[in-house]
Amino acid sequence: MTEAHKPRITITYCTGCNWLLRAGWMAQELLSTFGESLGEVALVPGYGGVYEVRVDGELIWERKRDGGFPEARELKQRLRDVIEPGRGLGHNDRKTGEGA
């Protein structure tokens, strides 16, 4: 019996820029929100100012391309749109300033 595919998330971070804690925190956020829907969240050391988040190899965030580091809300929305498009994210689906 084979288990359904669960996505592999990689967060590549610059070791020279000391972004390990940022990458680790984001991994924790993704695991807390998506839990058993994910197969793995891997931290990948890199260099040259890199900070990339990929889902099964597909780039969903790149620091230089996307203008800095992602807010947890934005990254969770992008990840959800790839792995579970119909899933609601509760308060993370509201735009800033919306609701009570």
* Domains of the chain, residue spans: 8-93
Measured over the CA atoms of residue 60, residue 61, residue 64 and residue 65, the dihedral's sign is: positive
**Coil/strand/helix, residue 54:** strand
Chain segment 77-91, per-residue pLDDT in tens: 999 999 998 777 765
pLDDT tier for residue 94 given thresholds of 50, 70 and 90:
low
H helix runs in the chain, sequence order: 20-34, 63-66, 72-83
pLDDT of residue 33: 94
User: For 2-19, what is the mean pLDDT?
Assistant: 92
Query: Phi/psi at 10 (nearest 5 deg)?
Result: -120, 135
pTM for the complete prediction?
A: 0.85
Report which residue type is found at 62. E
Question: Given a cut of 80, is residue 3 above it in pLDDT?
Answer: no
Domain 8-93 classified CATH 3.40.50.1000? no
Classify each residue of 46-55 as buried b or exposed e, where b means 16 or more C-beta atoms within 10 Å of its C-beta: beeebbbbbb
pLDDT of residue 29: 97
